[in-house]
Amino acid sequence: MPTLFALVLAAVLAQSSSAPAVPAGDAASSAASAPNVGTAIKETRPEKPLRIRVKLVKGTIVAGMLASWDDDAFAGDFGRIEWTELTPSEFKRLFDKLMDDRDASHQLRFAELLVAVGLDAPAESAWKKATSIDPSVKPRVAGSREAAKAMRKARLEKERMEREGAVQDFAEDGAAPRWPVLTDAERDAALATMREDAKRYSAMAGVSVEPIETEYFILVSELKPAETKELQKELDRMYAEVLGYLGVDAKVNLFWGKAVIFLFATEDRFKAVEAGAFGNPMVGRPGSGQVMGLCHMMKEKVFVNSWQCPDDALFGSVLIHETVHGIMHRYSTPARLPAWADEGFSDWVAARFQPGPVELARRAQAMQYIRSGGNIVTVLDMNYRDGSWPGQNALGYAVGYAIVDVMMRQAPLKFEAWLRKVKGGTPWEQALQDACGLTKQQLAANVARFFATRD
């Protein structure tokens, strides 16, 4: 039972997760900063320097003497700050104070910047004022509106890229190459590619259904609409929950475009896509048993292929387990967790949503091993590379799940800190020492002690 999807998975992971050579660090520099568009205002100085105290979107306060301003920014002893860096209400207040109300160009620029920061209604009244002050600016309003729209798009893109870039900040030693942060245009192209792949690959199974998209996933489903809807909601909830464990804003889409999830009605179709799309013949793997789902990490792309086995809970559990692999692959860097944590965390998350199958397959086996004095360090040392994972009767899965369970019950924040270090490229045992103050022997002893008296 525990080996149902385990063994084949290990093989596939080993074959398809080659790390991409991604240049680190320069992702943000490719971000489109606010384009130099719209109504120009040359450098203007207030009659006398103005003392200001304003709040920026990122939360910091800027205070000092404002000496000059123009269409893009204001400057003073605090440096130069772009208008769109201010919170919307602070922008409105300060610009309104500095501008000449009777200058039509000032009104046009005010309107453009108001739209850029998301204040549409006051922008309309500024455009109206501009044309009533000077009817000859009327022909300029259409261009002014276009500029405003472009500025808003650029601001949203910049904020998104900063949010995504922040997910990677911890990989400071650069040991693991980070996934690049995509511009809007790159993201659109990535999404188009994933949509195409979804269609092309499902055609290999003779399936042509209209994919359903959520914020993070493209679902190609042959299931009944109500079943698909249920799984879709569960996947979205799971995504948000996992990002919470990682300490990441759930608004961040970690995927390249989106992850493609195949939910086929039959095993044959699942296998057809395995063979056709992923070069996985699904034969000649003695002892692998029946496989219900697999995650394929093709450099930056993530695909989960699955078929609806008769056991709904098991199907849901496999789906979540595999999708967690995809999320972890895309979390900051492609660096792999050690096998016990890679599989243990996927099972642990799956158990949060579908407790039955994981508990059934893992818990009793783990308790039996640990309580009879089995060596937990042996499991910590198992790895995909030398074929020692997952051990006899897939022992690694059972004990890996138990270890993650203890870590998450006792100190989830330390587990998060440990994950970050490993994803940043620190060897896992070193990271365990740094983040949790434990050697692997101490971790093993801790787990044995925990389960000596508890389930």
Contact 329, 297 (CB under 8 A): yes
Question: Quick one: 74 or 270, whose CB is closer to Zn ion?
Answer: 270
The piece of 1-9, 67-75, 161-169, 417-425 that touches Zn ion (CB under 5 A) is: 1-9
Least Å from the CB of residue 183 to Zn ion: 32
> Which residues 381-410 are close enough to bind Zn ion by CB under 5 A?
none
> Which residues 344-373 are close enough to bind Zn ion by CB under 5 A?
346
Least Å from the CB of residue 342 to Zn ion: 7
Question: Quick one: 9 or 259, whose CB is closer to Zn ion?
Answer: 9
Contact 329, 302 (CB under 8 A): yes
Backbone torsion region of residue 257, taken as left when φ is above 0, otherwise alpha when ψ lies between -120 and 50, otherwise beta? left
Within 10 angstroms of residue 275's Cβ, the number of other Cβ atoms is 15
Question: Quick one: 180 or 293, whose CB is closer to Zn ion?
Answer: 293
The reply to whether omega before 35 is within 30° of 0 (cis) is: no
Alpha-carbon distance of 238 to 438, in angstroms, equals 29
The piece of 231-239, 284-292, 338-346, 424-432 that touches Zn ion (CB under 5 A) is: 338-346
Least Å from the CB of residue 173 to Zn ion: 27
Within a 13 Å sphere around the CA of 277, how many CA atoms are in the beta-carbon half?
Answer: 30
Question: Quick one: 9 or 246, whose CB is closer to Zn ion?
Answer: 9
The residues near 312 (Cβ < 8 Å, ≥ 6 apart) are none
Least Å from the CB of residue 321 to Zn ion: 5
Least Å from the CB of residue 295 to Zn ion: 7
CA dihedral of residues 410, 413, 418, 424 (deg, nearest 10)? 160
Least Å from the CB of residue 349 to Zn ion: 11
Q: Is residue 9 at the binding interface for Zn ion, with CB under 5 A as the rule?
A: yes
Least Å from the CB of residue 343 to Zn ion: 5
Where do we find the tokens 């990682």?
246
The piece of 69-77, 175-183, 301-309, 340-348 that touches Zn ion (CB under 5 A) is: 340-348
Q: Is residue 7 at the binding interface for Zn ion, with CB under 5 A as the rule?
A: no
Q: Crossing angle for the helix pair 225-246 and 312-330, nearest 10 degrees?
A: 40
Where do we find the tokens 């919307």?
88
Site map (CB under 5 A) of Zn ion, residues 191-230, x = contact: ----------------------------------------
Residues touching Zn ion, count (CB under 5 A): 3
Where do we find the tokens 């050690």?
338
Name which of 168, 155, 181 is nearest 35 in CA terms. Answer: 155
Question: Quick one: 39 or 346, whose CB is closer to Zn ion?
Answer: 346
Question: Quick one: 171 or 297, whose CB is closer to Zn ion?
Answer: 297
Alpha-carbon distance of 72 to 334, in angstroms, equals 39
Q: In 302-314, which positions are buried (b, 16+ CB within 10 angstroms) versus exposed (e)?
A: bbbbbbbbeeeeb
The piece of 198-206, 245-253, 342-350, 354-362 that touches Zn ion (CB under 5 A) is: 342-350
Name which of 309, 299, 211, 226 is nearest 262 in CA terms. Answer: 211
Question: Quick one: 147 or 320, whose CB is closer to Zn ion?
Answer: 320
Least Å from the CB of residue 9 to Zn ion: 5
Least Å from the CB of residue 325 to Zn ion: 5
The piece of 8-16, 62-70, 433-441, 442-450 that touches Zn ion (CB under 5 A) is: 8-16
Site of interaction with Zn ion (CB under 5 A): 9, 343, 346
